[in-house]
Structure 1
Amino acid sequence: MPDISTTMIIVLCVAAATAGWIDAVVGGGGLLLLPALLLGLPHAHPATVLGTNKAVAIVGTSGAAAAYLRRTPVDVQLAIRIGLAALAGSMGGAALAGGISKDALRPMIMAVLVVVAAFVLFRPAFGAAPGAAPAGRRRVLLTIGLAGLGIGFYDGLIGPGTGTFLVLALTALLHLDLVTASATAKIVNVCTNAGALAMFSYQGMVLWQLAGLMAVFNLAGAMVGARMALKKGSGFVRGVLLTVVGALVVKLGFEQWG
């Protein structure tokens, strides 16, 4: 366990639980968890922060995926195909993550958030209901390339917002409603987390004791979030997405320029 105060450990555990809830509902829990780890581990190498984040996130994401699969119709075969491409992409991104500095992370995360918020805000009907027809072969291949390799690479390199990007990509490209897209994204996200975590672990960039403690809280939050999303539907998911993104834009903007 790194040398951090009991108060900070409690803060990190609360952040992990909240991030698990957010990640299960709409993705993007890393947008909360990663800044919390950067705050709690100010002297750690950025790659160690990213690796620890992955070790926490994969537990909650796996729990949420299992909860969704029990109650939501998901094309598991397609999700796994996208996930395998994402695993390869995330391993490549994680291999390059050692060159990312803390000073570069915050503006990059802010840019990600602004793009996500603008897209969802100006598309009020986005993901409200599934498309009338299933996606064709071309769209499936595009999804494997974009949501698999592309977003997987981003997840290994930086990470925050990956679940949200997956939900948006799957909704736009495969014509899924937001709940089904969230369920599918969890399977893909487990693969991206596994690929990145394998690389970070190989490089010795994971604080396993801290990650194990935080993972328990992350899993608890994820299970609650998945049940709420399944019960309340796409409108609830969209509302949470906009609220979370807006709050984080304000928070990071204040930290950057306040």
Structure 2
Amino acid sequence: MGLQREPFHRVYSAPEPPSPKRRPRLLVLLVAVVAFCGAAAVVFVLMPGHGKDAASPRTSPSGGTAPGRTTEPPSPSGTPSPSETPMQEQTVASLPKPCAMVSGRTVGRTIPKARRDESANSTFTTCTYTAQGPRFRWLRVEVNLHAPAKTPTPVQDAEGDYRASWTQAHDAPLVRTISLRRQRGIGDEAFRWFKADDGQPTVVGEVTARFRNVLVTVSYSEQAAKGAADAREGACLGTAEGVAREVLATLAHF
């Protein structure tokens, strides 16, 4: 019979708390990535310029529009905007009475005690002043209106009328042309013509001027002694020009 072992009594100790479970490494990495992306989104939103109207075009550093964006096409090259378009040239709409375009003072100084004859319609008027007495003097004002109500191109028509008058002056019958030249500063365009009547002791200083859509012709005639016609050029043309300027000033108000 063998020896009996004495029972071994183990001292009791409280169980240790269980250690926390380990998180899977992949889950930890995923959480870190999500947190980083969220922080980047916040920074992007707070960047200057972000959040503006998405419809506004972005420009490249060279000043052009970035690809993928469109803007309103520019106006054709050389075409002014409405604010830059010049106003259409104003035209004369009607004519005053034939003998109302020259003041009584001018007539009295040029043709003392003149007899007056006139004729008129809506587009053509004439007024003739003739001296009463032994010394012949004569003044005629002729105005031709190219009315806007009767033609779509009144100014161009007046320009054609002016050119025709200039051409006719170069080949006028029954007169001897002493001088014929263009003159600046009278209306839009003008020429002065000094001539002597063939077979008559008279000379004529004539000024033809275009003002917008109106053609004005002023003729002043007087007697000239034999051989003295050329010497009256300055005086006759000066008289005709002074009257022409007065007529143009009157037409500017019509």
Structure with greater proportional strand content: 2
Structures share fold, TM-score greater than 0.5: no
The structure with the largest helix share of the pair is 1
Higher RCO (Cα < 8 Å, 6 or more apart):
1
